[in-house]
Amino acid sequence: MRALGSSRRRLAALGMLAGASAFAVGLVFLRFALSGSTHYSNLLWNLVLAWVPLALALLVYDRHRRGASLPALAVPLLLWFLFLPNAPYLVTEFGLLRIIQDMPVWFDVALLTTFGWTGLMLGFVSVYLVQGVARRAAGAIAGWTCALSALGTAGVGIYLGRYLRWNSWDLLVQPAAVLRDSAARLDSPQLIGMSLLMAAFLTVAYTVLYVVLDTALDGRNERA
């Protein structure tokens, strides 16, 4: 599968993601105005963090196309790997429906769905780009190994953020504390269950999207 093709397609994809993000932000501010509260304001910062892995993936993708080797891209690849869970993390915000009830539930469901969907798309596009880099560098198997490993590890990262309240940058500034806290819960049913479920969900969702895009691109090439 060819990663994001021409610059025109890239601009269209980025424009759609920016549009979805703007719509999500607009819903939050509409909620502020209608409810008179600032509930769900945390979604705004989480959305910013969800853009970070895409920005890093674009950096890796562009540098690799210009001839940079994988070792030369080690730092942005590591940062991408660490920040990737921030994108799908947005789907876990549905838990707020149990706590915040100052607006009709249908409004909040639409709001959270918009953020969750946007987060997934930001994360999946970033995985798509990095998978393309790995595939060109080492073959299709390496590409899928990279993608599935990242999605699987993201499941653990989502748990660490949701329940242990660790952030991606904590792995950079205090890695020993994060690893120690995680190791102490290796037998936790919550850690195992949520990590596996989120990893499976992300893997299935990404694979479906990948196959659909691959089919669409093949059909477009046949008509060209």
Phi then psi for 36, rounded to 5 degrees? 75, 15
Q: What percent of the chain has pLDDT over 90?
A: 70
With the C-alpha atoms ordered 83, 117, 208, 17, is the resulting torsion angle positive or negative? negative
Q: Which residue has the higher pLDDT, 1 or 196?
A: 196
More confident residue, 219 or 154: 154
Q: Where are the domains positioned within the chain? A: 7-223
The arithmetic mean of pLDDT across residues 102-110, rounded, is 96
Per-residue pLDDT tens over the stretch 8-17: 778 888 999 9
Range from 16-20, 148-152, 173-177 carrying the lowest mean pLDDT: 173-177
Torsion of CA 177, 181, 182, 186, to 10 degrees: 150
pLDDT tens-digit readout, 171-217? 888 888 888 888 888 878 888 999 999 999 999 999 999 998 777 66
Q: E strands along the chain, which residues?
A: none
pTM of the model: 0.90
